[in-house]
Chain A
Amino acid sequence: MTDMTPEETQAAALIAALREEIVEEHDLDVTDPEVPGLQALLRQVLPTPSVGFTVDELLVDDDVVDEELHERLVGVIRPELLARGRRPRYLEQIVVAQRTARALTVEQIAERLDEPVQLVSDIEASVTSFFVLKEEKVAAWIEQLELDIDSAVVALEASLRRPAVAYKGTERRGGSRSAREFSQRVRDLLKAAPSAGNDS
């Protein structure tokens, strides 16, 4: 008998517990409730790691990929992985690249955000953090440049979590707000905006 990892042992125990509970149920011909709202909601939240691992244990026991498919999958993802390595990962880099690609000036961005030119310029140069802006302004900036929402928010969180040396110690307007809370608020604003839906 093979030794089980702690995760496998936990998953086996959870499956056994569910089996025991199901066995105790009556085998009734009840109708499944029509709950589209709930189903859509639940599908958005992934199971916790331990429940997810148990689902894996139940579902992927016969998950075998033959050599030919393996080669094809590697061939498909390799270019994307290489491209990822060359892609800018911080929002400062992305906004500068996109502004330049659209032939916009810092002044134009500053005017549209109703913020000082120097501040926008400092943020682009990583001299000042995005934290000094309100979430609404950061969302407006991303929207102005029509960036992909998911990628932009991930890049924003990366910028906030790993600030450039230049502005380490800059006082945050938001006080104790975490990078994640700030980014999520920006994401919610963008998703709620009428122009949302530019995800690639």
Chain B
Amino acid sequence: MGYARLVGGGLGETDLEVAVEKAILRGVKKLDTYDPDKAAFTSWLRPLVRHAIGDLRRSKGADNPELPADVAETGEPDPELPAPTEAALRRALQRLSETDQLILALRVTEQLSYDQIAERIGGVTPGACRVRHLRALRRLAGEAAAEPELHHYMKDIPT
């Protein structure tokens, strides 16, 4: 619920509970696809919460409150990657430092705003978090250059 509150800004507690309920049910249905070698269980479960919240926002239509400007709208699950592309991205990410991976996970994977990241890390400003994130993105672009499977996706990254 804490995570749902974090990413479901503007939704009421009842809506968030419904989203968590849907996410957990979907998680149980898809449990066979969870691979403990690839990620922690909660990391696997969180996208389901985001997608459930995205569905709820869409279903509420005009009643949907404005999202903070720098928070990406949660929507349909992204199409699954072909295995070679996923493997290439994993290789590129693993060549980054863990701090790079962490800021990318918070900003891109978890879709937190810079305000939220700064608040969670503590003792830092949102602006500095933004700069640190951009630096991690650039380093990822550098590593991705060595992976032909990723060139198509990386063309829009600033270098």
Contacts and interface: CB of A to CB of B under 8 A. Distances in A.
Contact of A22 (B43, B83, B128): B128
Contacts, number: 200
B83 A188 contact: yes
A58 interface: yes
Interface string A19-32: 10111011111101
B158 interface: yes
A63 B2 contact: yes
Given A25-B131, A37-B155, A44 B28 contact: no
Contact of A38 (B20, B36, B154): B154
A6 interface: no
Interface stretch (A46-54, A105-113, A121-129): A46-54
Interface in A1-58: 14-15, 17-19, 21-23, 25-30, 32-56, 58
Interface residues of A, number: 67
A191 B156 contact: no
Given A22-B124, A27-B128, A42 B108 contact: yes
Contacts of B150: 41
From DSSP, what is the main secondary structure of chain B's interface residues? helix
Interface stretch (A69-77, A159-167, A168-176): A69-77
A73 B20 contact: yes
Contact of B131 (A26, A54, A154): A26
A181 B78 CA distance: 22
Given A33-B158, A69-B1, A81 B28 contact: yes
Contacts of B101: 47-48, 51
Nearest to B13: A69
B47 interface: yes
Interface of B: 1-3, 5-6, 17, 20-21, 24-25, 28-33, 36, 38-40, 42-44, 47, 70, 72, 78-83, 85-86, 89-90, 93-94, 98-99, 101-106, 108-110, 120-125, 127-135, 137, 140, 150, 152-158
Given A62-B2, A72-B21, 18 more contacts: A18-B99, A19-B121, A21-B132, A22-B132, A35-B156, A38-B154, A42-B104, A43-B47, A44-B80, A45-B86, A47-B40, A51-B98, A53-B40, A55-B106, A62-B5, A63-B1, A69-B17, A151-B32
